[in-house]
Chain A
Amino acid sequence: MSPWPLRAVTTHCLVGSVSLPSLMTPSSAACMSLSMEMPRKRKGSLDNQDTKSSSIPDADMEDDQNRSDGEDQNVKIKCFREPHSQIEKRRRDKMNNLIDELSAMIPTCNPMSRKLDKLTVLRMAVQHLKSLKGSASSFSEANYKPSFLPNEELKHLVLKAADGFLFVVGCDRGKIVFVSESITKILNYSRAELIGQSLFDYIHPKDMGKVKEQLSASELYPRERLIDAKTGLQVQADLPVGAERLCSGARRSFFCRMKYNKISIKVEEKEFQASTSKKKESQRYCTVHCTGYMRSWPTSHLEVDGDGEPDKQDSSYYSCLVAVGRIHSHSTPQVNGEVRVKPIEFITRFAMDGKFTFVDQRATTILGYLPQELLGTSCYEYFHQDDLPHLADRHRKVLRSKDKIETDCYKFRTKFGSFVTLQSQWFSFVNPWTKEVEYIVSTNTVISYDPSQTSRSEVKSELSSNSKTSEDDCNKSLQVILGISTTPGAMIYAGSIGTQIANELLDFNRMNSSSSSGSISPFSLPQDKCPQTHNQISNNVPNGGATDMEIPGKSSSEDEPQGAAFSGGESLMVENSQLDLDSVVGPGLSSLSNDEAAMAVIMSLLETDTNLGEAVDFEEMHWSS
């Protein structure tokens, strides 16, 4: 490997990064700070949590920056002299903080009412460590290098964090050569049950082809497909298919569904288990993400207890996949069999004009219509006439607001002619990049299947008679909603309400919008290192919400942040309001206004990233043994 990268990196640090916003690289932050005092972050220091600037670790950085500034000697000395006492003070503070933390962790220090001096704390720490080490097994000081944690402990931690298991399968038959203990916790099979079995016995039938493909070396299978990070397009591998596919170190990554053993009540009796498995129960699967490497060993080194099967490939090598299987956090098998009961609801999507573009299948049991019967029709055709005004009003509101809009209870006509009472939450789903409204999402909850008697009779009369009076009433309310006048006899259909409202919005936007095109993103980062401003509203909002009439509730760090909803598990939209940059990523980000700066950010991330611009390097894939 050539030595040039080191030099190149240094020059980059000094010269290249000065023009970029300081957020780009940590080094550029140092270079740009010149003679400013950089507050150093210390563990336990009071302003640690609040200020978000990255830390500059040591005095060397300041030296460099002074030298690189090319300032004259006097200024340099001045810079040194002033901060020097500060540096010392900080060092002392840091040390004191550390000592305090240490004394808090040591049991013998804790009960002391007065604060102990540094030396005593240190001595007690020595005693404490000696006592801890005493309980560890003696053999741990043997041959190999000391590791911070005992190996067993580390192994447990890793497996617990990763929710995964290690496995080795032979490529020709899929025989499970090895599997780690942790598989018991994940799929609920014991090691003994699995070793020697074929992996294919535990894979969903529809995924067998996929797994075979990943294990195989047959020439009939498609060549390796690579993605060139530079162009984003597929590149045909120049290597011939065959030996290279199985060459040691070739990486594999795939998903497959694996069986898991349901928890049986009585564990000891095998007969009981056997009988339960004979029942006609649908097998449960969970999705496992497998990543690993191909590896081949000379068979002379292995005890491959085979029945002398003819090998397709070189008979002296046994090829295996060595991989880790991980359960995705979203697909953990429901071992407790708990069923979450939600109130009766279904979700639909409308285009801006109120036409159904997506209907959740639960709607059928509630409304009687199949999704395809509703798709393409306007929601207004199903709303009860009395509810039209208030729903139209909500429709207008939702197109102009980022918030969730609640409707009152209203009646929705079912397939059978009756009405159900629903109550909905609507919000405009906005594309995170363009900030344009893509569609309206409606979460509909059933309030009652049986509206009161009086309304039923109204329904009957409406449906049975196409009398002029009811049409007139309908027309009148439509006129009120739309604010138009019609000549007598003209028919206004409910469906047109939605279109009218959508058009209103478009006209409004056309009048107000600036010349920004739809694909520009109103993103950027403010010039200072971290967004401190919370309530800035961007001025050039393209189409979707005109001017923000309601400032969405900004979450400060003390409030319950909606971002927490992402920590683990799927959450339905009912639990979140409009996914806003603020709620997901942090305050102040909706103040972004300049997309060029955003692009600069991303470009710098990519430019300085290690892999960009290089195609796959097969050498990196090899397993160094």
Chain B
Amino acid sequence: MTANKEKRRVISRDAARRRRQVESEVFVDLSRLLPFQQSVQDHLDKPSVIRLTLSYIRMHTLLKGKTGIKVEASHAVKCGQVMESGQEWRGCDRGRDDEEKKTDNVEASEETNMFLRILEGFLMVLSTEGDMIYLSDNVSKYMGLTQTELMGHNIFEYTHPCDHEEIRNNLRLTAEEVWCGAKRDFIMRIKGALTHRGRSSNLKSATWKVLHCQGRAKVCVAPSSVSCLLLTCQPLPLSHTLLSTHTFTSQHSMDMRFTYCDQRMTLLLGYSTEELLGRSIYDLCHILDTNCLTKNHLNLCFKSQSVSGQYRMLVRGGGYVWVESHSAVIPSVRPSKSRPGAHQPLCILCVTYVLSGVEEPSLQLSLDQAVHRYLR
């Protein structure tokens, strides 16, 4: 009796072993079909193989299906090129020989690489559930984690919990938004496994990196309806170089009251530094832009960096200019090396780009402007 049992046990063990072997072989087959170098393929574990296969299939579906986005189609017609929308994505392969296609391919790759390099960011394709279906391979430069490590995972595993709500809001797409390729622009914190010097470390010593994500929705309708967000993600820099004459810097306390501004502000907007000290930025801006400023302020408070949209700053005595501010929260005194853990007062540093000339210089919209005009 026990001999039979033993025999059955051995048989089942062997069967199990064979099954596992067969399974492993299939996994190897699958990994070989993935578009990575062999060295990379060999090091993928089983879940990763499936994860990356899923990404590959999803991207393929997204790109090869008919797009049918209204904006694209109508624009194509207007530019005198009546093309089937799906064709746009295939780069018009017809009637070209291999050699031409090869050159085009190389050019395309160079152009894209250059583009991403200049932009100092990477591309992310996000499904509506938050899966990072695709990441461009330069993601490792910014996050310290490679394309193969990250693709297919869910973004909520890598971003700051307090930003999840906002990310979810951005992923929510109505049918209308999807069809019109609605735009997205938001800031989120993501885990970055880079050291101070820019070397890759690992997830255990990850730090939060502030990313500015901009992009739009994309949909493909056939064979199945898939919608996603295409985003470029750029880490926000903490230092700026070569500010032109049309840019000024200012420093604020955490409630956005001015504590300092440079002389360019005086040249561009007319206010002297003394006049501005203690004034709130909310007093100085057009009322229709309060939303924009508040969002910027909140981003600063929670994420420590922000890019405002375009808003209007009132000019002394009348009129306004369009500006855009890039800001960050920094310690307002030099961090002390002797007491590294001590709390330091914080302040906000803004670099503001002036985008337009003074519009409507004789129009006084705020009490402040009216007073200044009177005092002149």
Contacts and interface: CB of A to CB of B under 8 A. Distances in A.
A562 to B, nearest CB: 9
Contact of B242 (A224, A257, A589): A224
Interface in B88-121: 88-91, 93, 98, 101-102, 104-106, 108-109, 111-112, 114-116, 118-120
Interface in A253-272: 253-255, 257, 263, 267-268
A-B CB proximity, top 10 nearest: A586-B165, A267-B80, A608-B207, A161-B230, A152-B91, A151-B109, A161-B215, A568-B183, A52-B161, A151-B108
Contacts of A49: 156
B118 A98 contact: no
A533 to B, nearest CB: 14
Contacts of B90: 152
A344 interface: no
Q: Among A151, A357, A531, find the residue whose CB has the most chain B CB atoms closer than 10 A.
A: A151
Contacts of A606: 304, 329-331
Contacts of B120: 291
Nearest to B334: A230
Contacts of B123: 154, 157-158, 161
Interface residues of A, number: 189
A13 B193 CA distance: 12
A232 B349 contact: yes
B112 A561 contact: no
A583 to B, nearest CB: 10
Contacts of A322: 114, 118
Interface in B288-315: 288, 290-292, 294-295, 297-298, 301-304, 309-310
B290 to A, nearest CB: 6
A557 B168 contact: yes
B118 A433 contact: no
A615 B91 CA distance: 44
A204 B295 CA distance: 30
Nearest to B120: A291
Interface string B165-195: 1101110100001000011111001011011
Q: DSSP class of A's interface residues: helix, strand, loop or mixed?
A: mixed
Nearest to A293: B118
Q: DSSP class of B's interface residues: helix, strand, loop or mixed?
A: mixed
A154 B63 CA distance: 10
Contacts of B211: none
Contacts of B57: 105-106, 128-129, 132
Given A148-B134, A149-B63, A375-B366, 10 more contacts: A27-B206, A129-B30, A147-B137, A185-B75, A357-B366, A523-B301, A530-B162, A602-B304, A609-B238, A610-B196
Interface string A518-542: 1101010100011100000000000
Interface in A356-377: 356-361, 370-372, 375-376
Contact of A119 (B26, B253, B331): B26
A445 to B, nearest CB: 15
Interface in A282-307: 287, 289, 291-293
Given A95-B46, A227-B239, A64 B343 contact: no
Contact of B370 (A234, A376, A609): A376
Interface in B252-286: 253-256, 260, 262, 280, 282-283
A166 B364 contact: no
Contact of A254 (B108, B208, B353): B353
A519 B244 contact: no
Contacts of A359: 365-366
Interface string A159-201: 1111110100000000000001000110010000000000000
A130 B343 contact: no
Nearest to A5: B195
A546 interface: no
B197 interface: yes
Contacts of B22: 119
A349 interface: yes
A570 B112 contact: no
Given A119-B22, A525-B162, A132 B239 contact: no
Contacts of A152: 90-91, 104-105, 108
Contacts of A180: 111, 115
Given A160-B216, A268-B80, A567-B186, A6 B161 contact: no
A234 B165 contact: no
A355 interface: yes
Contact of B172 (A48, A255, A564): A564
Contacts of A209: 245
B174 to A, nearest CB: 9
Contacts of B197: 1, 5
Contacts of B206: 25-27
A217 B218 CA distance: 42
A567 B169 contact: yes
